[in-house]
Structure 1
Amino acid sequence: MVLLPIDVHMWLTLALTVVVMTLFVTEWVSLELTALGSLATLLALFHVLPAVGADGTQLVTSADLLAGFSNPALLTVLALLVVGEGLIRTGALDSVAHWTAHPRLSPSASVILTLLAVLALSAFLNNTPVVVIFIPILQAMAVRLNVNASRVMMPLSYAAILGGMTTLIGSSTNLLVSSALIDQGLSPLGFFEITAPALVVACLGMLYIVLVMPRLLPERASMASHMTHHGKQFISQIVVPSDSHLVGEKAVAGAFKSLPNITVRVIQRGEHAELPPFDSYALQAGDTLVIAATRSALTELATRYPGLLHPPRRPGEGDRTRDRLRDNAEETPQPARRDKSENGDNGRAAPSEQVMVEAMITPSSRLIGPNLQQLAFRQRYRCLVIGIQRRARMIRASMTQIRLEAGDNLLITGRQSDIAALGQDRDLVVLSGTTGTLPQRHHAVLASTIFIVAVGLAALGVVPIVVSAIVAATLMVAIGAVNLRQATRALDRKILLVVVAALALGQALEATGAASFVAHSALGLFKDLGPAVILSMFFLLVAGFTNVLTNNACAVLFIPVGINLAEQLGMDPHIFAITTVLAANCSFASPVGYQTNLLIMGPGHYAFTDYVRAGLPLLLLVWLAYSLFAPWYWGL
């Protein structure tokens, strides 16, 4: 154990903060590993080189750094995720969705009403499941309007973000900032304390979303259609059978006659990978063709040559997945057993009975990381993945070897009953082609009542929000709205680990004086400009960082700086806390700042630049509106 001057700990903490923020932005390693690594580094640093105050007490202990695991705000967030899962699984929100899509309403009115409903729901529910529910609804509305889905998907995500600003429980960010105030010995934020300024920026933001944003968003899918034969392209693969007509065929001008409207990107023959152009390159039995094609082209190929898109089974593949199937039996409805005469010897559904759907990997999905072979997807779901589409990127790799990521679109075929079971799985969002399975509607009224009572008691201040949220989550499990396995899966590990690590880093920044140092330095630059300008610049700084960090990490890292700025300016710390809340929720200018932005990237066919083009003006509008409203509202 070595004692060092407190300044050394301050600089070490600031250096670690820079490293962590860089890793969060670049994602050179996963967010979870970065969070765990930063937590482990802090624990080791302050154990080996303890920071000791003037009175001889240790300023940062292991208990302080690990206190995030029992943080009331984090526990509230996790409990509300379970409550939201219960509302979704009971179909309690379906009536709202059907109401906004009423056939008597004009399509444009339905879109506006849907966005307003999303705004209202997101004020009281985690906005990620809200967006998941409304993605297929807005897809259908886009078809009715005869407009591209890119015109409505980004407004959906941004309406949910704006709604999450308006109440204490609207976003995990809001709860974490309120908890940080408690940790500093200050009073927490009231349930509706942030509502007035948040409604001002939310209303202006909604006007921009409805009137201006659709004009800025490109016809992304229409451009893709022109270039790729009317549709976005999926990565797929073909293993050339020995009796196939493809054996011996040669490419002409880089294309194979038997594979119309299909681009062959790689031909894998044993250990050798042949890249384009393939002129005079004759195909052989056993060659694996990595192809890029639209959904319509793959559908035609699967219809003309049944089984060609089916990857070969590996020996013993079914045995290795028996345990996985048993683990999923409680959650996934299993279709009736079918004999060989119905399915054929290989258990595949007859082509006439198959349906094809697109499904998207959710941010908290258990499918993220492994590839399709490692997941044994065909055995797990009794469905076949015949294509993968990764946002705006195309990759040169065998489809079965691509490690799945959040936001990936999978093109899946299977029987209607198996697709219906797939639609209920929370690891995937079925985007089209199926209505999914029927929810447990007999619990819908009771689940809604539990939610409304929990929110009402917290809003009236009868019980703390952490108490009402945990009790509500427990009741959701007790009435059977969700089972324990489903409740556990609703807990997002990224939120848990990133928030705990950010809280630990924030604790170190505060205890070592790093937060005070940053605040004092910033104040020295802008002290002559007045509190209103300093508040505005602080908002813009946090709003900028939240588009490259996660919103939770950004809020937790900046709230100590904001509190110190308030103290040095002689202002109410709640003013800077509310500023931090609103700014940290401004994840408009990039897809990485917030999960809902990632969710709509695939259905909207967006590129990174689309978020900058449409989201940056919204961020600047919110900043300008708050900068004008806040001085008047608080009399600065």
Structure 2
Amino acid sequence: MIEPSSHAIAAILLTVTMFYGFISGKVRVEIISLLTISAIALGLYTFPLPGQAPTDGLKLAFEGFGHHALITICALMILGRGLVTTGALEPAARLLIQIWKFNRQAGLFVTLVLAMGMSMVVNDTPVLVLLLPVMSAIAASGGMPASKTLIPVNSAVLIGGMATTIGTSTNLLVVSLASDMGMAPISVFHFTPIVLMAAAIALPFIWLIMPRLLPDNSVEAGHAPRRFIATLRLGGWSAERHLTIEKLRQILPGDVEIRSSIRDNRVSVEATHDDLEEAMRALGATAAPTWLMDRLKSGYSKTGEDLTVVELAITRDSGLVGKVVTDANLAERYNVALLGVHGARHSWHAQRYPTQLDPFTIKFGEGDIILATGAMPDLQNLARTENLLILEGAKELPRTTKAPLATAIMASAVIPASLGIVPIAISALAGAILMFVTGCVRFDRIGRALSANVVVLVAASIAIGRIVLDSGAAEWLSSLLALGLQILPPAGVLAAVMLFVTVLTNFASNTTAAAVGTPVAFSLAQKLGIPVEPLVLAVLFGCNLCYATPVAYQTNMLIMSAGDYKFGDYTKTGLPLVALMIITLSGLLVYQYGLY
């Protein structure tokens, strides 16, 4: 077996470090990605690869930002944003509500099938963004509890996104990397039949069994309602009465947890929405500054708009992620008052919200849910501008005259590419330009269409994939795998590769798993005499089997608070689905490519 070079060892160590950074969650994805790119650039400039100049290393490190895969991913993000903002997907949501009213089981089945279908041509996240408030509204109107439906719907979205090259950014990355290495180009629907057959086998489990494995986290079933951290402004009377923590506990409802001492007539508490309202009534307190509440009541008394309290979930591409609550300045920008915050990651709850901390000095995170009040038009403006999801009450998506136009543009981008008339990079880019020209997506909202962390992560993943391949790390790793896999039949090899990538993607970034797995699979295929394409597809499928942990994919985190899930809920439902999909997809790949 070949010995790894110093560059190969360095590439492997850098990849492991990058994975650890993603797993730990201590540093934001964008920062880790930029540090990885910087490490590759500086490392190869100082210690160039054999036969290369220092500037060649710089080109390798930064070429991901100009790679056609990244351009295509950005264009598809814009196309998906156009469908959402114009309300082109709204008829599907309304159809679901009508079917759920007729029959709950039929409603769930149609929801799963529709989720799979939409995510084949629209990125997974926009599809879930559309369905999440719909499912919350269905649960509120007497349908299945959200905790019984959101993980199954999310699983269906992820399976649908696996079915085409444009379903997820990861698919495009794998196909592009493999094409760069010499594999024949793959069309949009090239492997769709394989995934659809696997989906048909997985669908009964997702539809009938998975909801039974999930808890009923509804309040009606006795589950504790969502708790928010809030700051109560007690007013001047507290000082006059010499209010202490002991006296405060006697006044407050029993389930209200006091999280700080009284300072400047303010105290931090954790409570449900109802208990928070009761606490404010008992103390004559407010959860927002008094001047702000007076301004809201005064302003809305003139317009006739009532104050409404809503819960809003923070999505991954929201502009609020990473911002300190006070810096978000929601009052001045949107004329709404923030009442409380519910943390998404329960297992890290104590770290993100320590006891002696004013909740309005913490940072917003992906999946957090905020409790806000204001006029409904202002709250909808906040949700639309900051990419938030209104969970309490149905959110009416805007229906505009441009919805048919956005649908036509999406079709004109996908159909020519699926027929092989033009590359997807060209058709998607042309479609994105048309979205701008026709006004389906506004130029000043391009930051909402594109996800900065996805852009940087894809660029870093392309650089990692190149350095793993060019340094010889992929050849060395494939040699190690070949020693253990050479005794297995092709089906076992495919399953082992898919399992290897699945483990990586469930505990780190699926784009990084794709960047590492693709060159390794390419080299492994050559060593074992297996066609390259089925092994590359095994990597692609493995990158999409991210059901087993909440940190595996952004949509998993998005539903965590809305369904009030725990880590174990993902594992309990995700591991059987992962096993089922690996066995099914491996067998189908063997059959499709004649690897008997």
TM-score by structure 2 length?
0.92
**Counterpart in 2 of 1:380?**
333
Does the aligned pair in 1 maintain the 2:233–2:285 contact within 8 Å?
A: no
Does the aligned pair in 2 maintain the 1:76–1:466 contact within 8 Å?
A: yes
Shift of 1:429: 1.1
Partners of 2:209 and 2:451 in 1: CA distance: 34
> Which residue, out of 143, 162, 165, partners 1:165?
162
Greater shift in the superposed pair: 155-164 or 201-210? 201-210
**Counterpart in 2 of 1:42?**
40
**Counterpart in 2 of 1:508?**
467
**Counterpart in 1 of 2:265?**
287
> Which residue, out of 104, 119, 124, partners 1:122?
119
Greater shift in the superposed pair: 133-142 or 85-94? 133-142
Does the aligned pair in 1 maintain the 2:133–2:394 contact within 8 Å?
A: no
**Counterpart in 1 of 2:535?**
576
Q: Does 1:403 find its partner at 2:363?
A: yes
Instruction: Assess, with a 3 A threshold, how the Cα gap between structure 1 residues 59 and 199 changes in structure 2: closer, same or farther.
Output: farther
Q: Does 1:201 find its partner at 2:179?
A: no
> Which residue, out of 238, 241, 249, partners 2:235?
241
**Counterpart in 2 of 1:551?**
510
Q: Secondary structure at the match of 2:102?
A: coil
Q: Which sections of structure 2, spanning at least 5 residues, go unmatched? A: none
Shift of 1:241: 1.5
Q: Secondary structure at the match of 1:441?
A: coil
Does the aligned pair in 2 maintain the 1:454–1:472 contact within 8 Å?
A: yes
Partners of 2:304 and 2:249 in 1: CA distance: 24
**Counterpart in 2 of 1:95?**
91
- Alignment-mate amino acid for residue 6 of structure 2: V
- Alignment-mate amino acid for residue 360 of structure 1: A
Shift of 1:494: 1.2
Partners of 2:254 and 2:334 in 1: CA distance: 29
Does the aligned pair in 1 maintain the 2:307–2:374 contact within 8 Å?
A: yes
Shift of 1:251: 5.3
Partners of 1:60 and 1:534 in 2: CA distance: 35
Q: Does 1:590 find its partner at 2:549?
A: yes
Does the aligned pair in 1 maintain the 2:256–2:275 contact within 8 Å?
A: no
- Alignment-mate amino acid for residue 152 of structure 2: P
Instruction: Assess, with a 3 A threshold, how the Cα gap between structure 1 residues 343 and 516 changes in structure 2: closer, same or farther.
Output: same
Alignment of 1:244-393 (within 5 A): 244=238, 247-250=241-244, 256-270=249-263, 286-302=264-280, 308-311=286-289, 343-344=297-298, 353-391=306-344, 392=346, 393=349
Partners of 1:151 and 1:358 in 2: CA distance: 19
Does the aligned pair in 2 maintain the 1:101–1:114 contact within 8 Å?
A: no
CA offsets per residue over residues 562-581 of structure 1, 9 Å max, x none? 00011112222111111111
Partners of 1:59 and 1:620 in 2: CA distance: 45
Does the aligned pair in 1 maintain the 2:402–2:440 contact within 8 Å?
A: yes
Partners of 1:603 and 1:430 in 2: CA distance: 10
Does the aligned pair in 2 maintain the 1:52–1:58 contact within 8 Å?
A: no
Does the aligned pair in 2 maintain the 1:240–1:246 contact within 8 Å?
A: no
What is the aligned-residue RMSD (CA, Å)? Answer: 2.7
> Which residue, out of 71, 75, 81, partners 1:75?
71
**Counterpart in 2 of 1:424?**
384
Instruction: Assess, with a 3 A threshold, how the Cα gap between structure 1 residues 635 and 406 changes in structure 2: closer, same or farther.
Output: same
Instruction: Assess, with a 3 A threshold, how the Cα gap between structure 1 residues 41 and 344 changes in structure 2: closer, same or farther.
Output: same
Alignment of 1:377-526 (within 5 A): 377-391=330-344, 392=346, 393=349, 395=353, 396=355, 397-433=357-393, 435-436=395-396, 439=398, 441-526=400-485
Shift of 1:631: 2.0
- Alignment-mate amino acid for residue 219 of structure 1: D
CA offsets per residue over residues 388-438 of structure 1, 9 Å max, x none? 1112336333121111101000011112232232232242111113635x6
Partners of 1:9 and 1:530 in 2: CA distance: 33
Does the aligned pair in 1 maintain the 2:244–2:262 contact within 8 Å?
A: no
Q: Secondary structure at the match of 2:261?
A: strand
Alignment of 1:6-155 (within 5 A): 7-53=5-51, 61-102=57-98, 105-155=102-152
Q: Secondary structure at the match of 1:292?
A: strand
Instruction: Assess, with a 3 A threshold, how the Cα gap between structure 1 residues 153 and 434 changes in structure 2: closer, same or farther.
Output: closer
Instruction: Assess, with a 3 A threshold, how the Cα gap between structure 1 residues 506 and 311 changes in structure 2: closer, same or farther.
Output: same
Does the aligned pair in 2 maintain the 1:123–1:166 contact within 8 Å?
A: yes
Partners of 2:27 and 2:34 in 1: CA distance: 11
Greater shift in the superposed pair: 420-429 or 506-515? 420-429
> Which residue, out of 171, 175, 196, partners 1:174?
171
Does the aligned pair in 2 maintain the 1:262–1:291 contact within 8 Å?
A: no
> Which residue, out of 211, 217, 220, partners 2:217?
220
Does the aligned pair in 2 maintain the 1:150–1:605 contact within 8 Å?
A: yes
Shift of 1:478: 0.9
> Which residue, out of 491, 495, 498, partners 1:532?
491
Does the aligned pair in 2 maintain the 1:111–1:138 contact within 8 Å?
A: no
Identical counterparts, % of pairs: 30
Instruction: Assess, with a 3 A threshold, how the Cα gap between structure 1 residues 558 and 348 changes in structure 2: closer, same or farther.
Output: farther
Greater shift in the superposed pair: 105-114 or 490-499? 105-114
Instruction: Assess, with a 3 A threshold, how the Cα gap between structure 1 residues 627 and 289 changes in structure 2: closer, same or farther.
Output: same
- Alignment-mate amino acid for residue 137 of structure 2: A
Partners of 1:579 and 1:86 in 2: CA distance: 32
Q: Secondary structure at the match of 1:546?
A: helix
CA offsets per residue over residues 510-543 of structure 1, 9 Å max, x none? 1111000000111012212233212211111111
Partners of 1:482 and 1:240 in 2: CA distance: 45
Shift of 1:268: 3.3
Q: Which sections of structure 1, spanning at least 5 residues, go unmatched? A: 271-285, 319-337
Partners of 2:591 and 2:205 in 1: CA distance: 23
Shift of 1:440: 5.1
Instruction: Assess, with a 3 A threshold, how the Cα gap between structure 1 residues 578 and 386 changes in structure 2: closer, same or farther.
Output: same
Q: Secondary structure at the match of 1:410?
A: strand
**Counterpart in 2 of 1:279?**
none
Partners of 1:308 and 1:479 in 2: CA distance: 46
TM-score by structure 1 length?
0.87
Q: Secondary structure at the match of 1:439?
A: coil
Instruction: Assess, with a 3 A threshold, how the Cα gap between structure 1 residues 269 and 292 changes in structure 2: closer, same or farther.
Output: closer
Shift of 1:188: 1.8
Shift of 1:146: 4.7
